[in-house]
Amino acid sequence: MALDRSNPVPNDLSAFWMPFTANRQFKKTPRMFVSADGMYYKTADGRQVLDGTAGLWCCNAGHNRPRIVEAIRQQAGELDYAPAFQMGHPKAFELATRLRDMAPEPMEHVFFTNSGSESVETALKIAIAYQRAIGQGTRTRLIGRERGYHGVNFGGISVGGIVNNRKFFGSLLTGVDHLPHTHLPEKNAFTRGQPEHGADLADELERIVALHGPETVAAVIVEPMAGSTGVLMPPKGYLQRLREITRKHGILLIFDEVITGFGRLGSSFAAEHFDVMPDMITCAKGLTNGVIPMGAVLATREIHDAFMHGPEEAIELFHGYTYSGNPIASAAGLATLETYREEGLFERAAELAPYWEDAVHSLRDCPHVIDIRNMGLIAGIELEPIAGAPTKRAFSAFLQAYEKDVLIRTTGDIIALSPPLIIEKHHIDTLFGTLRDILKGLD
């Protein structure tokens, strides 16, 4: 199929089965981006669309960043691929060291993957294998949380708690239980930052652990701030309590930081922001500015060293991917971390957060708005669903925003915003001004 450059929309859209998309609706009225620069996408019909979502929570440094583009070009011409098993190349080691240096102190080792989903699978497998390695082989259970999103692979959807992501796919992993979610709009609606109520929900972990016996539980996994389920902030004291209970019972705590990693909350990782140290951190997305697929699991020395036994020529962990630490992804990762550092983007996010907070809460008086939540450069605006037609109102806001040259994201009836960290105040004004207009006119 030839592409007509004057009209860059292909005339056959049928072959591509699009992920997490209403395929039939999309193919009737396609929304196509053909290029991107800075804070803007360009559509096939030539419009500039303001990126209110950093792509899919991933382009934290904005688009078309010269250092990243050049690093990829150079690396492709220098070393395109090196086998990931039993061979190495310098940039993967360099990137692991850079990550260790920017991560909270106890995170000393890095296992590379290609996505958030793979990072989650990797962390869950390491957790179970670690317990076995330290003589706690009965600890195989995994505990997630209702409304949690941990990607789409079987481990991730098993510990995850988004009903539609689970119910079509059979019986999932066995030996999994879930904490209650922390969304309490009746008590916490319109909170700025962390809500007051809900820390006690962490105590449910004591009940779950007692039910199964602590000696059967390997790990608890949560998003420190739950993004994809609609931007849910951890109640004050909640994460600390989870840490206390997991430590008391010899259970590993995994923070899934696929969204919160790399500056989203104004710090390198949410673990640092909330001052709660897990045993492992999963990340992806912002690691390469979303430009090339890459993810990583950060683990403490204690976890890593538990595997470093036996004959030196024996493989210690039977896990890995063909593209773990891929040279081009590693080069993109190094250039991305350098861009964040050079431009002080995490600090910039922290500085802009109060302006962002005021702007999003200014929508409180708009029709249909039943809750607003924010932290760092992230916000959730929850709309009252249309009776009998959940998701329709928010999806309609999404379509209208696109027509008005603003990209937002919706999940259920919640609008989720997470712009590139290079956003400026005038962009914030445009984003929320456009949203106000849309909300006023929504059915």
Ligand X SMILES: Cc1ncc(COP(=O)(O)O)c(C=O)c1O
Binding site for ligand X (CB under 6 A): 115-117, 120, 149-151, 223, 227-228, 256, 258-259, 284
What is the residue type of 165? N
Shortest CB 77 distance to ligand X, Å? 27
State which residue, 147 or 393, has the beta carbon closest to ligand X.
147
State which residue, 117 or 191, has the beta carbon closest to ligand X.
117
Which residues in 4-26 are b (16+ Cβ under 10 Å) and which e?
Answer: eeeeeeeeeeeeeeeeeeeeeee
Q: How many CB atoms lie within 10 A of CB 95?
A: 26
Residue nearest to ligand X (CB): 116
Question: Which has the closest alpha carbon to 258: 360, 372, 160?
Answer: 160
Contacts 24+ apart (CB under 8 A), 367-370: 367/439, 367/440, 367/442, 368/393, 368/439, 368/442, 369/439, 370/185, 370/189
Shortest CB 112 distance to ligand X, Å? 13
Contact 285, 57 (CB under 8 A): yes
Shortest CB 285 distance to ligand X, Å? 6
Shortest CB 254 distance to ligand X, Å? 11
State which residue, 43 or 117, has the beta carbon closest to ligand X.
117
Shortest CB 19 distance to ligand X, Å? 9
Contacts 24+ apart (CB under 8 A), 314-317: 317/126, 317/129
Report the relative pairing of strands 217-222 and 252-256 from DSSP bridges. Answer: parallel
Shortest CB 141 distance to ligand X, Å? 20
Q: How many CB atoms lie within 10 A of CB 292?
A: 21
For every residue of 137-169, DSSP letters joined together read TT--EEEEETT----SSHHHHHH---HHHHTTS
18 Cβ contact list (under 8 Å, min separation 6): 26
State which residue, 124 or 439, has the beta carbon closest to ligand X.
124
State which residue, 259 or 406, has the beta carbon closest to ligand X.
259
Distance in angstroms (rounded) separating the CA atoms of residues 407 and 78: 36
Angle at 230 between CA 251 and CA 273, to 5 degrees: 55
State which residue, 281 or 423, has the beta carbon closest to ligand X.
281
State which residue, 104 or 116, has the beta carbon closest to ligand X.
116
State which residue, 259 or 415, has the beta carbon closest to ligand X.
259
Shortest CB 419 distance to ligand X, Å? 16
Shortest CB 150 distance to ligand X, Å? 5
